[in-house]
Amino acid sequence: MSQQTTTTQNQNSPAIGGCFTVVVHGTIVAAECPDHEVLYCRSRLVRGKEWSLVTSGAERANTIDVLTQQADKQPGASARFTWNTPFECVLQSTNPFGWPQLALGLGRVDNSGNDHIHAYARCHIPMQSGNFTLDLPLLAPTYSQPQHQLFGALQQPELRDFTFLCSTSDDRVVLTAKPVPGYVRVSFNVMISGLDELGYSM
């Protein structure tokens, strides 16, 4: 689940005074989740404090936090849900620390109109320019402390803010995640500019 990254700065590079830009065009393509019949997918962007979203008019709308339509499971053995929902954003930073991550939640709306998230996934925005398709393993939250596990047996916990998966909060000592069958597929088209000029090598 985790992605390890290393950034180095050339010793002879100039002092960081500018910024670099990351342009992302992506698609929440599909998912396989055999335990459910109807699902939607919600995505949220998580980024470090030095990162900012850039807008320059309507043509640069940031739609990284998106909600797909609710889809029925397609017939067949694959238990596949298809959305093909696009998203895009333009980000700038002076420092690669806090490189943006995408948190995703798969859920459904019940007969009373209430949302229930059943599985989660996360990934970093790719750290190189190019086209990428990632199949992200699904996770479900579970209590890590024995005294809390009885509650989990009665009702699966849900994350009120599923960007929690991308954090290093101390609360993760109480709540952790377990793998569940399936994956969510996300595609990225990424263009990074200005990073080399600041002396960074990813």
**Chain mean position to CA 126:** 11
- The SS3 call for residue 195 is coil
Q: How many angstroms separate the CA atoms of 197 and 188, rounded? A: 24
Q: List pLDDT tens digits, range 66-86.
A: 999 999 998 877 789 999 999
Q: Which residues of the chain have pLDDT under 70?
A: 1-17, 56-62, 143-175
Domain coordinates in residue numbering, the chain: 20-138+181-201
**pLDDT at residue 32, rounded to an integer:** 94
> Taking the domain 20-138+181-201, which CATH number applies?
2.60.40.150
- The SS3 call for residue 66 is coil
Give the global pTM. 0.78
Q: In this structure, are residues 112 and 84 in contact, taking their beta carbons and an 8 Å threshold?
A: no
Please compute, for residue 16, the number of CA atoms within 13 A of its CA located in the half-sphere on the CB side: 16
Virtual torsion, Cα 97, 122, 168, 174, nearest 10 deg? 180
